[in-house]
């Protein structure tokens, strides 16, 4: 099963700072810990979350082959960690929510290690050849620092693979219309203005409140460039069904970047 880093016989090979040193008091981090129980139920319901319908088959091929160490930044309850481990990766999952870390470490048969830590001050030495930030950067208070930290812990030639909610998704909304697939998409406010979002969703008996921040696309590309990354791939993910309104507008954004 997945293990907490503190239980490793050789923790200093991976962890460069005491776990008690991780940053506290960040708004979105606290909100996600508050709703951790809801998220664990939502994410672990078979086929329920967007991971299964939109991401898994598109995101995993962007991840490089297993190497020395793969970091899962904002690992949540550990679903991506489990898939990466099955593909042969030696994974260290990091999440700022103690409840998420406990959940990720408690799945029977899961491989890898889990550590509590903030993405903006990763408790890890520069040792990884791959890092993933799957659907976490839009939920991280200090996104630019998190990207810079990913660059710090990656060896030269390492890769960062990210998935975020597409800025088009969070910038506007669909207006009412008689044809569901043809409803117009309207941006009433500013594409460029950053703003906090809190969306409560109910589906199939599950409820989850998602806390995130709308950021323009440039915020992510500039953070990558400033941290020394070269973007290799950008993929926009929509609904595969032509009958769905999200077939015309991207829901998610996948990016792979090289640490120069």
- How does pLDDT run across 117-134, given as a tens digit for each residue? 999 999 998 889 999 999
**Polymer length in residues for the chain:** 260
User: In this predicted structure, what is the pLDDT of residue 19?
Assistant: 33
User: Domain range holding 157?
Assistant: 3-259
Contacts of residue 222, Cβ cutoff 8 Å, sequence gap at least 6: none
User: In this predicted structure, what is the pLDDT of residue 165?
Assistant: 98
80 in Cβ contact with 132 (< 8 Å): yes
CATH value at residue 78: 3.40.50.150
User: In this predicted structure, what is the pLDDT of residue 208?
Assistant: 95
Q: What is the pLDDT of residues 89-114, one digit of tens each?
A: 999 999 999 999 999 998 876 667 99
SS3 (DSSP) at 59: helix
101 in Cβ contact with 36 (< 8 Å): no
Mean pLDDT of 62-78: 97
**How many domains, the chain?**
1
Other beta carbons less than 10 A from residue 185's beta carbon: 15
* Mean per-residue pLDDT of the chain: 89
User: In this predicted structure, what is the pLDDT of residue 51?
Assistant: 96
**Of residues 125 and 38, more confidently modeled:** 38
User: In this predicted structure, what is the pLDDT of residue 21?
Assistant: 34
Cα-atom radius of gyration of the chain, to the nearest Å? 18
Supply the angle between the helices 143-153 and 217-226 in degrees, to the nearest 10: 30
What is the percentage of the chain residues whose pLDDT exceeds 90? 81
d(CA 245, CA 259): 36
What is the percentage of the chain residues whose pLDDT exceeds 70? 89
User: In this predicted structure, what is the pLDDT of residue 1?
Assistant: 52
User: In this predicted structure, what is the pLDDT of residue 4?
Assistant: 54
> Which DSSP symbol is given to 124?
B
Phi, psi of 95 (to 5 degrees): -145, 145
pLDDT beyond 80 at 171: yes
């Amino acid at each position: 099963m997945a293990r907490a880093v503190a239980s490793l016989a050789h923790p200093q090979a991976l962890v460069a700072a005491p776990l008690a040193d991780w940053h506290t008091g960040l708004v979105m981090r606290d909100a996600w810990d508050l709703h951790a129980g809801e998220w664990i139920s939502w994410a672990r319901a078979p086929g329920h979350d967007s991971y299964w319908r939109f991401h898994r088959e598109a995101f995993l091929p962007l991840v490089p082959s297993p190497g020395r160490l793969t970091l899962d930044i904002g690992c949540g309850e550990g679903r991506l960690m489990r898939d990466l481990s099955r593909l042969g990766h030696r994974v260290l999952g990091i999440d700022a929510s103690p409840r998420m870390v406990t959940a990720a470490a408690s799945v029977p048969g899961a491989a890898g290690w889990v550590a509590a830590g903030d993405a903006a001050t990763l408790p890890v030495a520069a040792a990884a050849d791959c890092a993933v930030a799957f659907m976490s950067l839009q939920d991280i208070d200090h996104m630019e620092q998190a990207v810079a930290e990913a660059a710090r812990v990656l060896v030269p030639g390492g890769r960062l693979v990210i998935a975020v909610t597409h800025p088009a998704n969070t910038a506007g909304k669909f207006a009412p219309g008689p044809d569901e697939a043809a409803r117009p998409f309207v941006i009433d406010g500013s594409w460029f203005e950053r703003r906090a979002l809190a969306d409560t969703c109910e589906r199939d008996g599950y409820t989850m409140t998602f806390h995130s921040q709308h950021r323009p696309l440039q915020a992510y590309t500039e953070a990558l460039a400033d941290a020394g990354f070269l973007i290799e791939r950008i993929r926009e993910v929509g609904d595969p069904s032509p009958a769905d309104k999200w077939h015309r507008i991207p829901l998610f954004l996948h990016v792979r970047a090289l640490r120069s």
